[in-house]
Structure formats: C-alpha cells, structure tokens
Amino acid sequence: MIRVVAKTISATTAGRRLSEILDAVEHNREEFIVARHGQDVARIAPAGAPVRTARWSDVLAILERLPRPDSQFRRDITAARRRRAGLPRDPWARSSTRRS
C-alpha cells in the first residue's frame, strides 16, 4: 500500500478540530503533520503497523514487471470508447474560455 502525503495543519487547527481529525485518521487512514510557527512538530497517523511508503521509481519498476496488454485489450478499449454516450470528442470544443 502506498501512503498518501500527509496534510499539514496548524497547531491551532489541530486543537480546534481534533475530533474531526481523529475521525479522518481512524476511518480514512489519513495522516496529518502538525506545524507550530511554521515548523513541523508532530504527526497524527493511524496506530498499528506502519504503512510502507514507496517512491515513484519503485511504483514504475513494479509496473514494468506487469504483463503487457494484448491486442484484444486495445480492441476492447477502443470499442468501449466508441460506445460511450454524451461526451464530446473534443472536451474543449464547447469551452467558454476563449482560445488564444
């Protein structure tokens, strides 16, 4: 499992919202770094076995070892994309933002 980056919060926020933060840690396995005067001073994280962290290079190495999709996979994806309804071919074609 790859750990999500911890959210940094102030000590004031931690004090005011401790119950909410503990709920997020318990139920969503979120982590928080508590900072005081701009310095990280504590981590609030789920108890128990630590979650193994991985670098992107580790993730890419794992992906490289996976089998490559076969030609049928490409045909299946192409067919599924053709069947999808309601999406414009060019999502920016209907944008309200003027193109430069």
Instruction: Walk me through the domains of the chain, giving residue ranges and CATH numbers.
Output: 1-82 (3.40.1620.10)
H/E run at residue 45: none
Contact 33, 43 (CB under 8 A): yes
Beginning with the edge strand found earlier in the chain, give each strand of the sheet holding 39-44 in spatial order: 7-10, 32-36, 39-44
- Quick one: pLDDT at residue 71? 87
By DSSP bridging, strand 7-10 and strand 39-44 are: unpaired
Residue with structure tokens 């981590």? Answer: 43
- Indicate the burial class of 34 (C-beta count within 10 angstroms; 0-12, 13-18, 19 or more): buried
Model's pTM, two decimal places? 0.47
pLDDT over 90 (residue 96): no
Mean pLDDT of the 34-43 span: 94
Q: Write down the H helix ranges in the chain.
A: 11-16, 18-28, 56-65, 71-83
CA distance 79 to 73: 10
Task: Tell me the average pLDDT of the chain.
Answer: 85
